[in-house]
């Protein structure tokens, strides 16, 4: 007996034409074999839920990665209950968030990301009243990120096996780029005129453009790399050359070099961005300049690097030393 596709399956597979067609064929089979005609109006409404959410995110200018993350969170919710998300209530959502914390052992930041996705779906897309549909946000423990010392960064570069690996990692560190930003970097973004010497970051986090540093040493590395590989559009294209390098490829590359250099694990390639900011601060660069280079919307985000700058700690005198000896 061929079953009727559930509302959850329609939400999950609306993005995949092959799977969507499979479920449509099942609907047709059920009509011919069993004779029961499904409520097509109801099914069409369920199928459109994913599109409604996608359209709402596009209209509000959410970043592409945010859109992908929100959809993945809602898909996981639908799969967990095997029901269309719009049939769930606040109690079901809270139970699912608790499941993510206690059973899936997800970090609180990941749980909050899911909560944000559900708030968007139920509040913005479905128009549920927040008073009747409270989705709690978990309190995220404040942990300082891992930061490599200058010697450790030098050791990392020394263990790169290829010119491509070294140039990519140097670019992230020298310019303080995010993973998505180094992947999307194009040749036209490298402004090497003597009176410019900067890198343009297009559509960074929050859809904002900005300029960051282009050091003479990095420019020399990029020119050497270009002469060896001759990339046409993206500075670091994928192996086929028809698009930018994949973020998973970059993370694997960083992990392999980090392990070869026997450096502390954790943080991924974003560790180099932390090192960029911390080392600038230790060199005496003011916090507002670092904020602009990193593309932070609020200086409070940048202020955490004060806690990471070792020179600020080791160069500070304890108040005990200021007391008059007795």
Element (H, E) at 198: strand 198-201
Neighbours of 133 (CB within 10 A): 17
Going from the C-alpha of 89 to that of each of 61, 92, 119, the distances in angstroms are 27, 5, 12
Active site residue 305: yes
Active site residue 205: yes
Instruction: Map residue 200 onto helix, strand or coil.
Output: strand
| DSSP line for 79-146 | HHHTS-GGG--HHHHHHHHHHHHHTS---HHHHHHHHHHHHIIIIIIS---TTTS----PPPP--PPP
Active site residue 273: yes
| DSSP line for 6-74 | PHHHHHHHTT-HHHHHHHHHHHHHHHHHT-PPP-HHHHHHHHHHHHHHHHHHHHTT--HHHHHHHHHHH
Residues 294, 316: Cα–Cα separation, whole Å: 26
Instruction: Map residue 247 onto helix, strand or coil.
Output: helix
Active site residue 270: yes
Catalytic annotation, pick one of 210, 258, 273, 274: 273
DSSP state of 266: -
User: Contact at 8 Å (CB) between 269 and 179?
Assistant: yes
Nearest to 49 by CA among 21, 3, 7, 79: 7
Catalytic annotation, pick one of 29, 164, 202, 270: 270
Chain centroid to Cα 151, Å, comes to 28
Going from the C-alpha of 113 to that of each of 78, 99, 120, 145, the distances in angstroms are 16, 14, 11, 19
Active site residue 99: no
Instruction: Map residue 322 onto helix, strand or coil.
Output: helix
Structure tokens at 101: 């914390």
Active site residue 178: yes
Catalytic annotation, pick one of 205, 211, 304, 312: 205
Catalytic annotation, pick one of 178, 258, 274, 279: 178
Please give the positions annotated as active site. 178, 205, 270, 273, 296, 305
């Amino acid at each position: 007996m061929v079953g009727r596709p559930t509302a959850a399956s329609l939400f999950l597979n609306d993005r995949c034409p092959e799977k969507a067609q499979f479920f449509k064929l099942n609907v047709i089979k059920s009509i011919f074999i069993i004779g029961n005609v499904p409520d097509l109006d109801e099914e069409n409404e369920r199928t459109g839920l994913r599109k409604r959410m996608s359209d709402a995110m596009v209209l509000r200018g959410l970043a592409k990665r945010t859109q992908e993350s929100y959809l993945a969170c809602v898909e996981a919710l639908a799969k967990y209950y095997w029901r269309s998300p719009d049939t769930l209530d606040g109690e079901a959502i809270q139970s699912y968030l608790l499941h993510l914390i206690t059973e899936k052992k997800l970090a609180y930041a990941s749980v909050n990301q899911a909560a944000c996705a559900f708030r968007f779906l139920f509040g913005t897309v479905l128009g549920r009243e927040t008073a009747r549909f409270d989705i709690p946000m978990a309190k995220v423990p404040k942990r300082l990120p891992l930061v490599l010392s200058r010697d450790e960064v030098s050791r990392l570069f020394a263990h790169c096996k290829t010119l491509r690996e070294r140039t990519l990692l140097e670019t992230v560190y020298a310019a303080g780029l995010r993973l998505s930003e180094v992947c999307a970097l194009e040749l036209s973004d490298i402004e090497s005129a003597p009176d410019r010497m900067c890198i343009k970051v297009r559509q960074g986090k929050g859809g904002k453009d900005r300029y960051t540093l282009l050091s003479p040493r990095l420019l020399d590395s990029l020119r050497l790399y270009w002469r060896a590989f001759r990339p046409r559009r993206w500075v670091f294209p994928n192996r086929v050359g028809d698009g930018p390098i994949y973020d998973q490829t970059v993370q694997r590359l960083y992990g392999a070099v980090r392990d070869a250099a026997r450096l502390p694990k954790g943080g991924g390639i974003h560790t180099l961005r932390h090192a960029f900011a911390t080392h600038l601060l230790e060199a005496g660069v003011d916090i507002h300049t670092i904020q602009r280079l990193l593309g932070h919307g609020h200086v409070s985000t940048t202020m955490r690097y004060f806690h990471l700058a070792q020179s600020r700690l080791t160069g500070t005198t304890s108040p005990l030393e200021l007391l008059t000896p007795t």
